[in-house]
Structure 1
Amino acid sequence: MATNRPIAGEFYAFGIDLQGISAKQLETVKARMESVKAQLETQQFEGLTKDGLIGDILYAGALSYFAANDMNLKMLNRVGQALAYRQPSFGTFSTNLIPIYSFCVPRQVEMSGILVDMDAVAQSLWAKNNDAEVSRTVGQQVGMMLSALEHRIPELLFTDDEHPGEAVSAVKALAIASAEGQRIYTVTAESVDAVLPALNIAIEVKDEIRAAVAVGRVATVSQNNISVGDWTGVGYIIASPETGAGAYRISGGSNGPTILVFLQDILPHSQF
C-alpha cells in the first residue's frame, strides 16, 4: 500500500508499468515535449497547459525509470545467475514544494526540486541453480540497481552544464558517507540497542530501523547525515535477510524510495 500526501500546488505524474514500457510510449511523450519546446521557442503560448509544460517531462521520467529497469532485468536474465521478472509496478515523479508559514498560515512556497517516489517496484526472482543464496545476492544487486536509477534518471533528464543539479538516492547517500570515511552499520535485532545511540541521524529514522529489525529485517545505515545541495539527511536500506528484497530510502522520504533533484538556480519561487 502506498501513502502519498501532496502539498497543494505540487504536480504529480504517475507511472505504471504493467507489461513493460513500449518504445511507442516513449516516442509519443517525446513528440509532445518537442512540440511544447517549439511553441515556447516561437513564443506561441496559446493552448499550452500544465500537463504540456510540466506533466510530460515528469511522466517521461517515470517511463524512463521503468524502461531502464525492464532493460536491465532482460540483460540479467540472459547472462546472470538468476531469472528476474518484474511484477506490476508504479511510482511518481513530482515537483517538490516547501511551504513557509507565519503563525501557522502558509504565506509562501519555494520550489526545491523534483521528487521521485517509486512506491511499488517488485520482482519475482529465481536462481537458475535453485540456490537460495544466489537468489538473495541477486535480489540485493537488483535493489541497488533500482536505487541507483532513482538518482541517475532524474539527473539525465533535468540537469546539464547550463542547468546544474544533483540528485540523491539511498545508495548514493551511503556511497557519499563511505567516501567521507563514515562508518556504515548493519543493524540487526541483536545489535540495535548498541548501534542506535551511536547514530547522529533523525529520531524518525532510528524509530523506523528499530521497528524493522524487531520483525526480522536488517538495516544498513551510515553513522551521520550527509549533505547534497541544500538537502541534509541519511540514506538507509531496510531489507529481508532471507530474500534480499528491501526498501531503499532517504530521511524525509515518502512511502518508498525517494530522491530529490536540487534545481534552486533554475526553478522559480511562487507566492500565495
Structure 2
Amino acid sequence: MTSIVLVHGIFNYVRKATPDEAAARRVSDCRPRLAESLSKWAVDVPDMTMAYYADLLRRNAPGEPQSFQQPEGFDDLSAAERSEVAAWLAAAGADMPADPQNVGLAPLRQMLGWLVDERGGVLTAAVREQTIGRLERTLVANLREVEAYTTWPERRRLVRERVSGVIRREKPAVVIAHSLGAYVTYETLHAYPDLEVDLLVTVGSPLRVPALARRLEPALRAGRGAKPSGLARWVNIAGAGDLVAVPPKLGRVFPVDDDAVCDTGLGVHGFGGYLANGLLAAAITPYVT
C-alpha cells in the first residue's frame, strides 16, 4: 500500500523500459518536486506509486493504425484536428475566425502568438518563437494522445484497466492526476465504481477543453459531469497560463469540491511545477500525515 498514486499525462513514454521500470523512473522524477512543496509544511514525502500507461498508447491491435507518433506541430494536423485546436485556443481566449465555417483554416500559430503576446509579457523575438513552438507541440501532443486513448475501445479499456489495477492494489489515500491523466482517472473511477479514493487532485486538467470533453465516457449530461461514486473529495488546480487546462475552472462543469487557480507562468504545464505548488501541498497534507 502507498499513500499516493500518481497518474501521468503526456510526454511520459519511456523507451526500452518495462511498465514497472518506467513507473519507478517517473516517481523518482516527481519525488523532489513534491518534497519541495511539502517541506513548507514540515511533512516528509510519503510512499508514492505511478500508474504508468504511456506504453499502451503505442501498442497496436489488429485493425488499428500505426502506433502513435509524436507530432511536430500544427502542420501535421488534419482539417478536423485543426478545427479542434482552433476551438481549444478560443477557449483559452484567442479570437476565432469571423466565419465559423472556415475554422479549419484558422491561422493557429497566429492565434497562439496572440495569446503569448497577451499573457507572456515582454519577450525577445527568439524567446517568443521558442515559447510558441513549445506550446504548439504541447497542444498537438495532448490532442494526439487523447485520440490514441479514445479512438480505439480496446486501447481505452487497457489503459483504464491498468490505472484501476494500481489504485485497487495500492489503496491510496490520495490520487494526483496530471493532464491527460486527469481525463483517464475521471473515466477510470466511473468505469470501476468499486474503487474508493479519499482525495483526487487533478492538475493541468483538460477536461473542459471542448474537443476533449465531447469524447468523455460517461458523456456529459445537460452539460455537466458526474462525481464518481467511490470518490470522497475532488480538488482541481489549474495554472492561470496553462493552455492545456482551459477554461481553468472545472467546477463550472464538474462537481469538484475545491477549484483553485495558481500562477505557473504562461504555458507551464509540467507535472513537476504543480507538485511543487503550495496549493497542492495544502490539499494533500491532511491525508498523508
TM-score (norm 2): 0.29
Name whichever structure is richer in helix by fraction.
Answer: 2
Name whichever structure is richer in strand by fraction.
Answer: 1
TM-score (norm 1): 0.30
